[in-house]
Amino acid sequence: MDARRARILSGAGLAIAVAAVGYPLFWRESCRSWGATPDEVASVLRGDELLPDAELLTTRAIAIEAPPSQVWPWLVQMGSGRAGTYTYDWLENLFGLDMHSAEVILPQFLDLSEGDEFEFGPVTMRVVALEPDDLLATHVPAWNWVRIFRLISGGGMTRLVLRNRVSYPGASRATRLRRLALSEPGGLVMERKMLRGIKARAEGEIS
């Protein structure tokens, strides 16, 4: 039994080592740009200027069979204690974020303007750019985090682009690398669920 346990632990250690080495070589770029085109990744968005030297930078996207006006309300109402973020509520609530993903439009959360602030769990999220049916950018200073949604219209459809910028001021190189190694793939798991959730809602697949 001890020998079997040793083999299992040895195999697990090898798998982790292979993943750690292989991630930056083979999977990192696809992880950071899931669903996005090269032009979307290279695009300059309003809000980028708030964290120009961000250490974590991801641009992910999804195609939605609905016009931007049909997608926009689902973005505006998002937030902690609001309509949630359409991802894994149970996981986010482990961190006290009070997420309860709505499956309908909630009119009480649709009146949003630049400069508005609301609680995002233990911190404050501020709306730094808002262009209806086009762009929504928020900033959480306490976490050095900027999130930007960009809606690109075409042929009755919408390309929904999601960009994240995060910096780690004062962190050591080892700490920054560790955070990136956790945040990039972890963020993909959460944001893929979010983008697919927005798509399903905007396309009317969730009533």
Structural domain includes residue 110: yes
CATH assignment at residue 145 = 3.30.530.20
Q: Residues 32-66: pLDDT tens digits?
A: 999 999 999 999 999 999 999 999 999 999 999 99
**Tokens 């309003």, residue?**
46
Structural domain includes residue 4: no
Check residue 3 and give its pLDDT.
59
Check residue 128 and give its pLDDT.
98
pLDDT < 70: residue spans in the chain = 1-27, 205-207
Check residue 83 and give its pLDDT.
95
Structural domain includes residue 166: yes
Structural domain includes residue 17: no
The C-alpha atoms of residue 9 and residue 153 are separated, in whole angstroms, by 50
Check residue 118 and give its pLDDT.
92
Check residue 15 and give its pLDDT.
36
Check residue 33 and give its pLDDT.
95
Check residue 206 and give its pLDDT.
57
Q: How distant, in Å, are the alpha carbons of 42, 62, 89 from that of 32? A: 12, 14, 22
Check residue 19 and give its pLDDT.
39
Structural domain includes residue 128: yes
Structural domain includes residue 1: no
Tell me how many domains the chain contains: 1
Structural domain includes residue 16: no
Check residue 65 and give its pLDDT.
97
What 3 state SS string does 68-130 have?
Answer: HHHHHHHHHCCECCCCECCCCHHHHHCCCCCCCCCCCCCHHHCCCCCCCEEEECCEEEEEEEE
Q: What is the pTM of this model?
A: 0.83
Task: Determine the structural domain holding residue 191 and report its residue range.
Answer: 33-202
Structural domain includes residue 140: yes
